Amino acid sequence: MQELTIRRPDDWHLHLRDGDMLEAVLPHTSRHFARAIIMPNLVPPVVDTALAASYRARIEKALPQDHRFIPLMTLYLTETTDAEDVVSGYESSAIAAVKLYPAGATTNSQSGVRDIETAYPVLERMAEAGVPLCVHGEVTDADIDIFDREAVFIDRVLEPLRRRIPSLKIVMEHITTSNGIDYVSSGADGIAGTITTHHLIINRNAILAGGIRPHYYCLPVAKRENHRLALRAAATSGNPRFFLGTDSAPHLDAAKETACGCAGVFSSINTLSCLAHVFEDEGALDRLEGFVSLNGPAFYGLPANDETIRLVRREEPIAVPASVETKSGPVTVFDPMFALHWDVAE
Ligand code: NCD
Ligand code: ZN
């Protein structure tokens, strides 16, 4: 039996939702993860620190009593965000970052930023105060092919932003292309990238080949195999600029299995097992801790967690539920399409 003890991990990009869904999904993160960057794309979105504080209180209330978990709150950047609210919220630790959604890019992003120029004054204040910006790196122009939207975002939005405000700390979230990997690896300091579990495992065939499979549909959409390989190389390279952001994004099955299904993969429950499998495949188990537990806090300027977790490789495949029940219906769990043997020992 193989074992691996690592610092307790954190998830640097997570959707917890609210209400019944929050209650159903939160324990699957808080069981193993110490902290997570909580996405603000609720309806209505979390646009100021007062809303972030009340959302944090709802998360803390939904937390199982024996779980210790710190939600790191984020604000949803709009064209009317108040820079002083952002800075004071960051300085009092009410928020950990601000999230840029290009308007229309993904689930509940209608209030996002249409013209990045309008956000520059707030972004400049954030740079001065050291507030990190998390970016959903896709353009939304109807004339840009959905598989090209990340690469075009780099040229049209990210690079001009980096030139204009080089001191702004930026996390390019859920990178899905080799273009994103190259951009983050080769840039000056102050940029990092998160990679999801599912993008290390699936390419676009999972969604489209042999039938349409809505549970593999997420945004940014999975790309070609060469991109998946670039993500795996980066995640397992030991490069401290890359760390885990699961982007676990639960939707009710009814909302995914329909003519116009929602984007999002729900993976919090088996993410660590999947990642141990991937890192083992790549001969990089010794680098798993950096990816899930060390690189993220270092970028955010936070200490790594003191506690540890133990991963154990079982002889027999471990059991993972196919779905999680909420009061409003089931949510399908990410199926990596291979048996999982790595288990988190409680
Ligand atoms: C996310 C969601 O459902 O909130 N969906 C997804 O496919 N990742 C939004 C997002 O992060 O893009
Ligand atoms: Zn997300």
pLDDT in tens, 18-30: 999 999 999 999 9
Domains in the chain (CATH in brackets) are 3-345 (3.20.20.140)
Q: Is the pLDDT of residue 346 over 80?
A: no
Q: Is the pLDDT of residue 310 over 70?
A: yes
Letter for the amino acid at 345?
Answer: A
Q: Is the pLDDT of residue 337 over 70?
A: yes
Compute, in angstroms, the gap from residue 255 CA to the centroid of ligand 1: 13
3-state SS, residue 147: helix
pLDDT tens digits, residue range 222-254? 999 999 999 999 999 999 999 999 999 999 999
Q: Is 48 designated active site?
A: no
3-state SS, residue 195: strand
Q: Which residue has tokens 């353009």?
A: 139
pLDDT tens digits, residue range 249-277? 999 999 999 999 999 999 999 999 999 99
Q: Please tell me the predicted confidence (pLDDT) of residue 1.
A: 59
- What's the DSSP call for residue 205? H
Q: Please tell me the predicted confidence (pLDDT) of residue 211.
A: 97
266 token code pair = 């729900």
DSSP H or E run through 326 = strand 323-326
Q: Is the pLDDT of residue 121 over 80?
A: yes
Contact by Cβ (8 Å): 328, 20: yes
Compute, in angstroms, the gap from residue 75 CA to the centroid of ligand 2: 13
pLDDT tens digits, residue range 40-49? 999 999 999 9
Q: Is the pLDDT of residue 154 over 90?
A: yes
The strand ranges marked E within 226-294 are: 242-244
Q: Please tell me the predicted confidence (pLDDT) of residue 90.
A: 98
Does ligand 1 lie within 6 Å of residue 249's CB atom? Answer: yes
Could you tell me the pLDDT band of residue 109, with boundaries at 50, 70 and 90?
Answer: confident
Residues for the chain: how many in total? 346
pLDDT tens digits, residue range 59-78? 999 999 999 999 999 999 99
In this prediction the pTM is 0.98
pLDDT over 90 percentage in the chain = 95
Q: Please tell me the predicted confidence (pLDDT) of residue 144.
A: 97
Name the residue at shortest CA distance from atom 6 of ligand 1: 264
236 token code pair = 């397992």
Integer CA distances (angstroms), 174 to 11, 55, 88, 282, in order: 12, 23, 28, 20
Catalytic residue among 10, 247, 335, 343: 247
Q: Please tell me the predicted confidence (pLDDT) of residue 101.
A: 94
Could you check whether the bond before residue 220 is cis, i.e. omega within 30 degrees of 0?
A: yes
Q: Is the pLDDT of residue 125 over 90?
A: yes
pLDDT over 70 percentage in the chain = 99
Does ligand 1 lie within 6 Å of residue 264's CB atom? Answer: yes
Q: Identify the nearest ligand to the CA of 262 by its number.
A: 1
Q: 330 phi and psi, to 5 degrees? A: -80, 155
290 token code pair = 């950096």
Integer CA distances (angstroms), 207 to 104, 177, 314, 331, in order: 22, 17, 30, 17
